[in-house]
Amino acid sequence: DGGITQSPKYLFRKEGQNVTLSCEQNLNHDAMYWYRQDPGQGLRLIYYSQIVNDFQKGDIAEGYSVSREKKESFPLTVTSAQKNPTAFYLCATMSGGAYNEQFFGPGTRLTVL
Amino acid sequence: SQQGEEDPQALSIQEGENATMNCSYKTSINNLQWYRQNSGRGLVHLILIRSNEREKHSGRLRVTLDTSKKSSSLLITASRAADTASYFCATALTGGGNKLTFGTGTQLKVEL
């Protein structure tokens, strides 16, 4: 997990509230990613950013938003439009060009009550 | 839909035995990667095998890739209780650039 921090580790929110998950990296990697993981499932890509001030939708972007104002930071906002927000959220980075390995943060477990 | 499907979904073995898990995928890939996830933690990269490679080793790990069958296997030899985790394959699709598509994972339990 070294070099990528996600906070908080556990987050509880009431239904209908927006919530922002933090992801910070000191690896100097250009590309950053947000994934969602449901129990017993694989990872699904929400959004990714290959460079500052640019990002693209992944497979399940509806109900989520992101920003990439700094190379080190890629916050994810889970909006009230996301129907089933309770999940484990993972942030990752990738170095260099395409087709490399990804490095993951420790994750944030979001529970919407 | 998931690009990679892993088999088996769960595997329970005794310490010292070998563990084999398989991954199948659907479209042309640049490389295939294996990751490990301990419960409630982030993923850790284990090994990457490129589409022009057939076999790769790293310590007790052996990965094979058969592009004609669109499948890969991960073998962990002489397993230890500390190997208990979920293992995921991820494919970097040809032309997919910086994205990975993850499989559904195999839950491995190594018992003493």
Residues 13-52 of chain B whose Cβ lies under 8 A from any Cβ of chain A: 30-31, 33, 35, 40-45, 48
Cβ(B86)–Cβ(B36) below 8 Å: yes
pLDDT confidence tier of residue B1, bands split at 50, 70 and 90 = very low
Is a pLDDT exceeding 90 seen at residue A74?
yes
Contact A113/B at CB under 8 A: no
Kindly report the three-state secondary structure assignment for every residue of chain B. CCCCEEECCEEEEECCCCEEEEEECCCCEEEEEEEEECCCCCEEEEEEEECCCCEEEECCEEEEEECCCCEEEEEECCCCHHHCEEEEEEEEECCCCCCCEECCCEEEEEEC
| Separation of alpha carbons A51 and A33, rounded Å | 11
In terms of Cβ atoms closer than 10 Å to its own Cβ (0-12, 13-18, 19+), residue B90 is buried
Q: What is the mean pLDDT of residues B52-61?
A: 97
Give the DSSP H or E segment for A36: strand A31-37
CB contact under 8 A, A42 and B88: yes
Mean pLDDT of chain B, nearest integer: 93
Q: Does B78 touch chain A (CB under 8 A)?
A: no
The model's confidence at residue B55, banded by pLDDT at 50, 70 and 90, is very high
Q: How confident is the model at residue B51 (pLDDT cuts 50, 70, 90)?
A: very high
Give the amino acid at A20.
T
Q: How far is A70 from chain B (nearest CA, A)?
A: 19
Task: Name which residue leads in pLDDT, B2 or A61.
Answer: A61
> What's the first-to-final CA gap in chain B, in angstroms?
36
Determine the average pLDDT of the residues in A90-100.
Answer: 85
pLDDT value at residue A45: 96
Residue B76 has pLDDT above 90, yes or no: yes
Residue A76: closest CA among A99, A92, A94, A100: A92
Percentage of residues of chain A with pLDDT beyond 90: 86
Contacts of B2 in chain A (CB under 8 A): 42
A1 CB near a chain B CB, below 8 Å? yes
Question: What residues contact residue A14 under an 8 Å CB cut-off, 6+ apart?
Answer: A112, A113
User: Measured between alpha carbons, how far is A25 from B17 in angstroms, rounded to an integer?
Assistant: 38
CA contacts within 13 A on the Cβ side of A11: 23
Length of chain B: 112
3-state helix, strand, coil in chain A (%, to 5): 0, 50, 50
User: Is the confidence at residue A2, as pLDDT, over 80?
Assistant: no
* Contact: A43, B88; criterion CB under 8 Å: yes
Q: Percent of chain B at pLDDT above 70?
A: 97
User: Residue A95's closest chain B neighbor by CA?
Assistant: B98
Tell me, what's the pLDDT at A40? 81
- Kindly indicate the confidence band of residue B3, based on its pLDDT and cuts at 50, 70 and 90: low
| Alpha-carbon gap: B30 to the closest alpha carbon of chain A (Å) | 7
> What number is the average pLDDT over the span B27-34?
94
